[in-house]
Structure 1
Amino acid sequence: MQEIRNYTINFGPQHPAAHGVLRLVLEMDGETIMRADPHVGLLHRGTEKLAESKPFNQSIGYMDRLDYVSMMCNEHAYVRAIEKLLGVEAPIRAQYIRTMFDEITRILNHLMWIGSNALDLGAMAVFLYAFREREELMDCYEAVSGARMHATYYRPGGVYRDLPDRMPQYKESRWHKGNDLKRMNEWREGSMLDFLEAFCKDFYSKVDEYETLLTDNRIWKQRTVGIGVIPPEQALAWGMTGVMLRGSGVAWDLRKKQPYAAYADMDFDIPVGVKGDCYDRYLVRIEEMRQSNRIIEQCVRWLRANPGPVMIQNFKVSPPSREEMKDDMEALIHHFKLFTEGYCVPVGETYSAVEAPKGEFGIYLVSDGANKPFRLKVRAPGFAHLSSMDAIVRGHMLPDVVAMIGTYDIVFGEVDR
């Protein structure tokens, strides 16, 4: 009798459901997965080594590009690590702005996730709905930093600048005119805080729309309920964080357990799952969007009532204003020196982590007293999660691997580094 052997297939790296350049080597018995071997490194850019060759303040932009869906959260971890070594703290208004933009980033990330994951599993409309709201929030990124994605808005000692007094408006075109144009610019008549207040008020109903499309959808539940079950013990053993851990019923969130920025003053809940399957992780992300919306509303109210500086007056790390540079040659020289040579950071080492949308994003930073890091190591949540792939998908069918990759919410910039 002829022996029947398992066969091996490549899933990716050029695959629309691979969420990046993941090469997954699957050993299969028919449609059943017997073994999954993730191959990473196809996007390796040497970020950690590059950061060790440049002044501290020139590597903030690299953080944006690690997880290009959670940009400002990555900056936050790196900037906090520098601040710890310098022994400085950002002004309270800057802390609230950072908190607000961390949550805007969380919503942006989860909107990308729900759209792309639904698309992977066969639901087209959700992607269009999610990107409708995503475009509104991307305008906030652009308004404060000038860039839609790679903001470099957080700086050691605060943020680049205060919130703008007006939002960019849509101009008349053959696609937008008359009442349609007026409706699109309705929220944009005032300041960014006015815009965010209007957005937050409306966003709860938009999350309800996503749920109407998916939560009780028969096909969605068939693709996610009971798929990729991760018991809490296994989640902890694999070093999982964020939604992957909370979806398994472990209420661990750095914003509550080790508060930073203004999170200690925020009122919000930590959603947790029950079964630890793909469906639970979907529900946790849906509820996280509502909780992030709550936090943004609280930040908007506080920022309206409390004007103040957004950068410390420490000329070792903060640049002079443009007015000062026009009148004072010494200020101009200081500006150039700060952005070319940077500043020397005291000898020491630190680990700084934030609750990024995908999990715990941490920066281990070592300084030898020079103007550039002696060692920088990124603790990326996606790398830890992806390492569990083989243990979780064994015994599942091939389409379930797609659901599992989607629920990991992987971006390969941070996995490969």
Structure 2
Amino acid sequence: MANQVQYIFDNENLNRSAPQKFRQEDLKHDEMIVNIGPQHPSTHGVLRLEVVTSGEQIVEVVPHLGYLHRCFEKHAENLPYNQTLPFTDRMDYLAAMNNEHSFAMGVERMLGIDKDIPKRVEYIRVVVAELNRLASHFVALGSYGMDIGAVTAFFWMMRDREHILRLLEWVSGARMLYNYIWVGGLFYDLPVGFEERCLEFVQYLKPKLKELENVVIDNAIFVNRTANVGVLPIDLAINYGITGPMLRGSGLKYDLRKVDAYSVYPEIDFEIPIGKGQMGQLGDCWDRTWVRVQECYESIRIIEQSLEKLTKEHKRDRDFDPRAMVPKKIRPKAQDLYVRAENPKGETGFYFRADGRSDIPFRCKARGASFVNLSIINELAKGGQIADLIAVIGSIDIVLGEVDR
């Protein structure tokens, strides 16, 4: 055990396992290297940050990856398309339905069946995707509150997230990794009574979100810890390819559900919340957090409208088969295709290269929003205090399964 502890904290051995960018002899006399993570709880998993500090001030931050290794892309290049779908759940494991939706849409477009998917299937996909968006945002908001001292927020968010996980488990049979959205359809139709139970939940949730805003988001201590911290100018966000709530927190109305208008989102009325610099500078940590809260309200609107469609226009039918369009053999024509969708953290995309001869993609690459968003951490953190670095990490909302995919 003593040898193990020595290995973890010895800089020379750390250099051997994951090379440091900075050398001690290159630092100024008042600078030092601090390794934050991968053991630190606020790095949200296995992220290690190599931080150069001058006293309490951050000079530079370099994120080091490579502790998780999901190997998604190599799995995808050795398995048929339909057998790869469960592995998408394990990238951003907090938003499995959203990943499945994006991957399934890509394969359907390659097969040319994307316009033939039944409307009931599409609305069910939207409902489960938005429920998963809520669950993901609840983890982001709850863990972020805990990172900077608001433990109550974590308990509240985990309580309400549990309701969502039970609904999704009722639908799919799994708690977090669902394999529910299939290429061409769904694993199964909604259980009897799901629409009514889901509507009860979203009605219950509205005042709970308002309570979160009043007690946590508008709290003077929370505002002091997040306002004017980690400011992300909109031009810098665009140059780095930042997407999702981070980009919208900087004031740009860019949401793929509107921009690409995929699935049945064009038929649904909802807004795109953006940061306004209400408590500090536009694009700071507080703005990004506020945007996530407002997106929860919009997800509730989307779910309510979709449930209305499912109970009135696209009702449950005893003869309805959610697998009717599921192809028996997936062998798309030779082509290159990139498909993207709005994950809770930003743009999740899949690039496929099909050779036209096999049911296994010749190449498959994934764009993880967490990976891209994390790349800007040095720009957000440098010049700030070490304590503010934790606030910056939490405001990015990363999942390491999507970073080291």
Q: TM-score, normalised by structure 2?
A: 0.88
- Within 5 A, what are the aligned runs for 1:129-278? 129-165=156-192, 191-274=193-276, 275-278=282-285
Are 1:376 and 2:389 counterparts?
no
Cα distance, 1:345 vs structure 2: 2.2
Match of 1:172 in 2: none
* Aligned residue pairs, count: 366
Q: TM-score, normalised by structure 1?
A: 0.86
Instruction: Give CA deviations for 1:297-319 in whole Å, capped at 9, x if unaligned.
Output: 001111011125453634xx44x
- Within 5 A, what are the aligned runs for 1:1-400? 4-89=29-114, 90-165=117-192, 191-274=193-276, 275-305=282-312, 306-307=314-315, 309=320, 311=322, 313-314=324-325, 317-318=326-327, 342-369=329-356, 370-400=358-388
Instruction: Give CA deviations for 1:17-73 in whole Å, capped at 9, x if unaligned.
Output: 001211100000001000101001211231101110011110101000000101100
Q: Which 4+ residue blocks in structure 1 deviate beyond 6 angstroms?
A: none
State the distance in 2 between where 1:111 and 1:364 align. 29
Q: 1:402 aligns with which of 390, 393, 397?
A: 390
Cα distance, 1:385 vs structure 2: 1.0
Cα distance, 1:383 vs structure 2: 1.0
**Unaligned 5+ residue runs, structure 2?**
1-27, 277-281
Secondary structure of the residue aligned to 1:66 is coil
**Unaligned 5+ residue runs, structure 1?**
166-190, 319-337
What letter is aligned with 1:13?
P
Return 255-264 or 302-311, whichever deviates more.
302-311
Q: 1:310 to 1:352 in 2, by over 3 A?
A: farther
Secondary structure of the residue aligned to 2:340 is strand
Secondary structure of the residue aligned to 2:89 is helix
Instruction: Give CA deviations for 1:188-241 in whole Å, capped at 9, x if unaligned.
Output: xxx111111111111110101111221221110111000000111011011000
Instruction: Give CA deviations for 1:134-165 in whole Å, capped at 9, x if unaligned.
Output: 11110111111110000000011111111001
State the distance in 1 between where 2:236 and 2:185 align. 39
Secondary structure of the residue aligned to 2:59 is strand
State the distance in 1 between where 2:377 and 2:330 align. 42
Structure showing greater relative contact order (alpha-carbon pairs closer than 8 Å, 6 or more residues apart): 1
Would you say the 8 A contact 1:20–1:410 is kept in 2? no
